[in-house]
Amino acid sequence: MKEEFSVGWIDRKGKFYPAEGGHHTDVACNILESQGEAVSFSIDDDPEDKLLERGWVKTFFWFNGYSKENRIEYYSNFAPTREQKDLILELRSDFNVSVNSELSQFLS
C-alpha cells in the first residue's frame, strides 16, 4: 500500500506526471509545451481542459469542509486506456478515492 495519494496527471499510456502542491495548471503547461504547443492562460484555452479533452486523467485533493478527499477526474470522449485503468484501480484500492460519473461508467 502506498503511503500518500499521488496528485497529478495520468497520460494515455499510464505514465504519471506529479503535480506537487496541486500545481496542475503549471504541469499541464509544461506537458503541452514539451509537445511543441503554444500555451495561453485564458478561459477559452485552459491547459488543464486541453489534457482532459485528450483523455488524460487528473488526480487531486478536494477539501470538503474540514476533511480532505482524494479525487480522480476524467472528461473525454475517449475511453480510458487499460494502462490508465490499472493505475486508477491501484489508487482506488490503496486510498479512499472518489471518481467522477464519467470515469465510474468506464470502471464498472
Its domain, for residue 103, covers: 8-107
Q: What is the 3-state secondary structure (H, E, C) of the chain?
A: CCCCCCCEEECCCCCEEECHHHCHHHHHHHHHHHCCCCCCCECCECHHHHHHHCCCEEEEEEEECCEEEEEEECCCCCCCCHHHHHHHHHHHHHCCEEECHHHHHHHC
Torsion of CA 31, 46, 56, 24, to 10 degrees: 60
Does residue 100 surpass a pLDDT of 90?
A: no
> For 1-56, how does the pLDDT look when each residue is reduced to its tens digit (9 = 90+)?
467 788 999 999 999 999 987 799 999 999 999 999 988 877 778 999 999 999 99
3 in any annotated domain: no
Put simply, whether the predicted model's pTM sits higher than 0.75 gets the answer yes
Report which of 34, 80, 36 is spatially closest to residue 54, judged by C-alpha positions.
80
Q: Which residue has the higher pLDDT, 83 or 41?
A: 83
2 in any annotated domain: no
Count of structural domains, the chain: 1
91 in any annotated domain: yes
